[in-house]
Structure 1
């Protein structure tokens, strides 16, 4: 029986960084993967494939260049699912190789199979053709989540799908109902609309992406409607079912509606395909945590303290399994920090108020810090400096006249309270604002420093001038 200083369960972003951090500290470490491939949802069903799908859609349709070359611009006239999947698979295979190389290079033992705790420090690993026991001093659980599949939704992996099974469709549907206006639902609605799919998005709240700045959300909704997406906001789905085969043929020979979503308001929506994107579910029920004394909630998620420690001192958790914010970027850092604390290595406190969000819809959205609504609720006096991409030379070169950058400036001391971006490169340029905020920088920083020209970064200077001019009543 092998013994390790640290055992990590799950090879997603949190697990990878936790295991490598243990190795960097000179500890013996094993990482366990129950699937047939590395990377978890980040690489195989979530972050990477959905973003690869987006990039393929943007390139093949020419959507990102129409402002420069005209609305009729298109790289490829007819786009098949094979065109999109080939890009995704290429990126995924590369990520598998990168993860395996990093684990090997750092001396991390990779153990394939399902992990099950048999005791507080004992784990059984059951693979397709073998089983073994290992012991560990500390454990970091990075098992992730899966799409929620409530019993009242008749999922079938054909035309009523989760975000995992949606990536396996064999053709592009002509029409799509998306249930859920969170990050996953919004991203897929945007991508499919870019590909020419007729999309209807149903969201129970009055706006999409309720956690982002209202002005950015409104701008996204305007853009989506312009691209043909029908938004049913403030609506809830009462029932979802398939249309019988004989009724489909009577409706439209072939390619007609196959799925119905009945709303509580009495509306009936029909489409070829439905994507259910409400909620994620943990997977802790199969881990044998009762044998350790670690409890999980009704969604199989774990509670941790500020050090990512569960109620059992030698068991830690990180990533999606601990809930909000459930981002690949934050999961990586959570895993690293969890392992550092588990092995007695203290590191500088992480400013959790300044992690950025990235939403890869069409267009991109990103934010860091406070929204206007939060500042208003907290009684913090601020001014908003706005820069439109249409007044930025780089924005013109990219053909993006729609994008904008908003910088929220404290009225009295001019510190930066929040940054919000929508448009090309939003998820990249947000880090400039993040860095300035982390060091207590003021709006004058952007005015008194030089930015490469032409770049989108120049928008910070324009936004700073705009905000400070408002404060000076110029």
Structure 2
């Protein structure tokens, strides 16, 4: 039996960073991956393929140029799935090489096979022809998730698809129904619409991406409709079936029927924990296979940690990486300073959106007085140069302290732009930083100054207004 300081289960972003951090602290580390290739869902079916696909869509359709030049020079019907996937494969191969190099450089040992808990410190790694037992002082579960596949739906991976099987389609459909208006469903709906595919997006809630700022999402929904996406909000799917003519039919609870060439089911993901024998160590996942952890990412068993998508929201590659690093630091007493409440969120819709900090709805619920400062891309020279007149950046500012409470953006470069606000918020900065700072011209970063001036002017008007609701009495001269 082999003994090491730490075993990490799963080689996605969370597992990679947990393993490397422990190795950098001088610990012996084994990383277990059930597939025969490193990277997890992030590299092979999730973040990297979908973002590479999006970049290919933007480049091949010339969607930004069409906005700038008021015409589209590309015949979208000529774009094939092979055109889109080619770039994905290039990026995936490069990312795999980079990750493998990082593991080798830091002395992390890789073992291929399924991890099964034998007891609280021992894991059997099962392969088709062998089984290896490893004992560890600390264990990090970073097994990720898989697309949820309800038993009531028959997935044939040709007409009825999940986000994994969609990437293996032989050809693009002419029309598609997307069930689920979360991050994955919204991103794919935008990509397909940009390619000229008829898209119907069904979402049970009254708005897409309800965790985000409502004004930003309203703007996104407007842009999606302008691209040709039909949004069926407040609608639930009761039945999905393939008709004799090959079309897929989705029947709503309201009685509506929607038909298309394909259907992409994107409601939820399931924690990849079912085959780990967690019952042998006293861990019980929830109904969606996710594990509960404390603020240090420890499960109920202190030396067993869980990080990444397997613990649920926000389930982003960026946050997963940080969770893995923090878990290893905590396991070995390494001091850290992280601000989880300022983890940024980036959604690669078309246009992309991003946020950090509180939303207007959250501030209202918490009774925190605030004012919003807004900058429109059409006011910014760089926005005009990019041909993006629909972008927007919004600062949420505390009425009394002038501290920045939240930053929300939609438009070209939103996921990059958000980090300026994140840094200022982490340093407890106020709106005055943006007012007094100088930004390169022309850049999108100027949005911060415009939004800060807009918000500051509103605060000045608010503070100069009479606090009493009574009508001021007129003083009559000579009375």
TM-score of the pair, normalised by structure 2: 0.95
Q: Alpha-carbon deviation of 1:345?
A: 2.2
Q: How many aligned positions are there?
A: 462
> 2:176 — aligned with what?
176
The secondary structure found in structure 2 opposite 1:417 is: strand
**Would you say the 8 A contact 2:395–2:452 is kept in 1?**
yes
1:185 aligns with 2:185: yes
* Structure 1 pair 387–157 and aligned structure 2 pair: CA distance change class (3 A): same
> 1:299 — aligned with what?
288
Q: Alpha-carbon deviation of 1:75?
A: 8.2
Query: C-alpha separation between the residues in 1 aligned to 2:286 and 2:109?
Result: 31
The secondary structure found in structure 1 opposite 2:355 is: strand
> 1:252 — aligned with what?
none
1:343 aligns with 2:338: no
User: 1:369-448 alignment to 2 at 5 Å?
Assistant: 369-448=357-436
1:324 aligns with 2:324: no
User: 1:41-80 alignment to 2 at 5 Å?
Assistant: 41-74=41-74, 78-80=78-80
Query: C-alpha separation between the residues in 2 aligned to 1:76 and 1:165?
Result: 23
* Structure 1 pair 224–76 and aligned structure 2 pair: CA distance change class (3 A): closer
Query: C-alpha separation between the residues in 2 aligned to 1:188 and 1:470?
Result: 38
Query: C-alpha separation between the residues in 2 aligned to 1:344 and 1:429?
Result: 34
User: CA offsets per residue over residues 286-327 of structure 1, 9 Å max, x none?
Assistant: 111122222211221111111111111211110011111111
Query: C-alpha separation between the residues in 2 aligned to 1:345 and 1:382?
Result: 37
**Would you say the 8 A contact 1:385–1:468 is kept in 2?**
yes
**Would you say the 8 A contact 1:62–1:75 is kept in 2?**
no
Q: Alpha-carbon deviation of 1:86?
A: 0.3
Q: Alpha-carbon deviation of 1:346?
A: 3.0
**Would you say the 8 A contact 1:60–1:75 is kept in 2?**
no
Extract unaligned runs of 5+ from structure 2.
463-479
Q: Alpha-carbon deviation of 1:387?
A: 0.7
User: 1:160-171 alignment to 2 at 5 Å?
Assistant: 160-171=160-171
The secondary structure found in structure 1 opposite 2:364 is: helix
Extract unaligned runs of 5+ from structure 1.
249-256
The secondary structure found in structure 2 opposite 1:168 is: coil
> 2:437 — aligned with what?
449
User: 1:160-239 alignment to 2 at 5 Å?
Assistant: 160-239=160-239
Looking at CA atoms only, which structure, 1 or 2, has the larger radius of gyration? Answer: 2
Query: C-alpha separation between the residues in 2 aligned to 1:170 and 1:461?
Result: 48
1:460 aligns with 2:448: yes
1:105 aligns with 2:105: yes
Q: Alpha-carbon deviation of 1:76?
A: 6.9
1:271 aligns with 2:260: yes
Q: Alpha-carbon deviation of 1:259?
A: 0.1
> 2:82 — aligned with what?
82
The secondary structure found in structure 1 opposite 2:461 is: coil
Query: C-alpha separation between the residues in 2 aligned to 1:214 and 1:312?
Result: 39
Q: Alpha-carbon deviation of 1:77?
A: 6.4
1:361 aligns with 2:349: yes
Give RMSD over aligned pairs: 1.3
User: CA offsets per residue over residues 212-266 of structure 1, 9 Å max, x none?
Assistant: 111011001100111110000000001000011xxx2xxxxxxxx6100000001
1:20 aligns with 2:20: yes
